[in-house]
Structure 1
């Protein structure tokens, strides 16, 4: 688990983890649950793509194309605080979450992403195409998925930080 997320939840009770200011706002726990779901599904698609082979190259040469830039922006904070709809199957649990259950799953999801990053340290991130778990016909470069997941995770951790009592 990242240091930011550890600091975020270390001193929270399960009640605080599940506290929602209103019915339209996710709790800290729901933010982390959503990040976990996204990471689990995205890394699953990444691992499928890597089974087809890992082309070598310089990972630092990757740059997003127009569509990838738009996708990376779309999964992060939006102008005016607008929110994008959450795809079916990516919604966090509405049931109360327990820190003892949520945090190990959250950590495991991050560890899997770190493993993918390590496996592709000497890869051509542009040539590895990864399908979207939402729209399988949408395939973006592995580099775009890394950038999108970082932006998306930062967005939800920021929202969770603002909710922390």
Structure 2
């Protein structure tokens, strides 16, 4: 070895090793462990989400069943009310039909009395009994009536 000039001054020592700052507080030892931990955390979060959704769904179905029960009760009451109203309307319609029929019967009785003035066709009565002028058929009909005694 070659000896160099003698050193004069303080002796330099190397700097101590400074560890790098970690970016994540709990640093996994391996990448596989980190992936497994991430999957486990995701599965737990998914299970929690599913539990919350299941509870909401059950509560919603329970509320829906209760609402359906209330609606069924209201529907049945409305149906009974509707049926009673229909029966009342039918009763009124029958009464109106009866009244109309009775009035028509009275009109027929009043207008179709057995009088010569209400019968259709030529009058067979003599002109003194009839409001129309004497006609040859009425005179012959009157003669026939007198002979046979029938009208």
Q: Normalising to structure 1: TM-score of the pair? A: 0.19
Greater relative contact order, per chain length (Cα 8 Å cut-off, separation 6+): 1
| Higher percent of residues as helix | 2
Which protein shows a greater Rg? 2
